[in-house]
Amino acid sequence: MSVNTTEFKTRKDARRMPLYRRVLRAADTVIFGAEMQRQLWQQRYRIGEGGGSTAVLYNGVDTDRFSAPCADRGPTGALPRPSALLDTKYIIGTVGKMRPEKAQIDLVAATAVLRAQGLDVGCVIVGDGTERPRIVEEIERQGLSGFVVLVGETRDVRPHLAQMDVFALTSTAVETSSNAALEAMACGVPVVCSRIGGMEELISHGGGVSYEPGNVPELTALLARLLSDDLERARMARAARNAAVEHFGWDRMVDRFVMLASSP
C-alpha cells in the first residue's frame, strides 16, 4: 500500500485515520513518498509495527520529455524564451492548483518587493483554482498587472518552464514531494521551495534552496540572490538537471518499485 499525503487536508479525512491505520498496519509493506513522511507516520500512527515493513519511493520524472530546450542553458543561465508572456529581464514562476495551502499569493508579494528593489522581474503562475480571485486582487493591489501573468490550466507546462529563470514552490501545508518542482528541475530550472514535507530531500542532491514556509522576506531574499548572480543560477540549473536525471528519473523509480514488489 502507498500513502500519498503527509498531513490530512480536512478534519473529515483525519477522523477516518483509525480505519486507515488498521488497514495500513495489515499491509506487508507501506510505501511513502519521502523519508520525512515515513518517520512522521511511524511516530504518529505507529505504521510499520507488528511485522509490517515500510519503504520510501520518491516520485519519478520523464527526463527525456522534460528536457530540451529547457535544459539547454548557456554559461550564464540564460534561456531562449519561445512565445514569452513577459518582456522582463527575469521571470520567476510556479505551477500548481490555486489553493490556499499553495500560497501563490506569497510569490506575488515577493515579486512586488523585487521590483521595488530595482530588479526587472516578472512572474508566471500556471494553474487555476479557488484562490484565483484573491491572487488577482493582490496583483491589482500591488500594481503588478503588467508583470504577473496567470496562465490558467494547461496540458503541457514545458513551454512555461522554458521561460522561467527560477521556479518557486511556496506551499505552506500538505506538500510531500512536488511533481511540479521535479519537472522544473528536469528542465534545468533552479528551485526555491518552502521547507515543507519531503522537499529538502528533493533538493538534497543540488539544484534548489529552501526557506521557512510563509516567510515572504526570506523567499524574496533567496530570489533576489539568485536573480542577481547569473553564474550561481547557471550552476544551480545544471545541478537541478543532474539531480533529476541521476536520482529521480522515471527508470530509477520503476526499478525501485519492481524491487519492492518482488521482495519477499
Q: What is the pLDDT of residue 50?
A: 65
pTM: 0.90
Q: What is the pLDDT of residue 84?
A: 64
- pLDDT means per 10 residues, the chain with 264 residues, are 82 85 86 92 84 88 82 49 75 97 97 98 97 98 96 94 96 91 96 95 96 98 97 95 95 91 76
Q: What is the pLDDT of residue 264?
A: 65
CATH 3.40.50.2000 intervals, the chain: 90-247
Is the link from the previous residue into 190 a cis peptide, with omega within 30 of 0? no
Which residue is it, cell 518517520? 39
C-alpha cell at 152: 490558467
Q: What is the pLDDT of residue 77?
A: 45
Q: What is the pLDDT of residue 3?
A: 87
Q: What is the pLDDT of residue 46?
A: 87
Q: Which amino acid is at 56?
A: V
Q: Which amino acid is at 196?
A: I
Q: What is the pLDDT of residue 76?
A: 47
Q: What is the pLDDT of residue 217?
A: 98
**In the predicted model, what is the mean pLDDT of the chain?**
90
Question: What are 71-118's pLDDT values in tens digits?
Answer: 455 444 444 454 468 989 999 999 999 999 999 999 999 999 999 999
Is the Cβ–Cβ distance between 246 and 206 less than 8 Å?
A: no
190-194 contact pairs (CB < 8 A, 24+): 190/165, 190/166, 190/226, 190/233, 190/236, 190/237, 190/240, 191/166, 191/167, 191/240, 192/166, 192/167, 192/168, 192/219, 192/222, 192/223, 192/226, 193/168, 193/169, 194/103, 194/169, 194/170, 194/219
Q: What is the pLDDT of residue 82?
A: 45
Class of domain 90-247: alpha beta
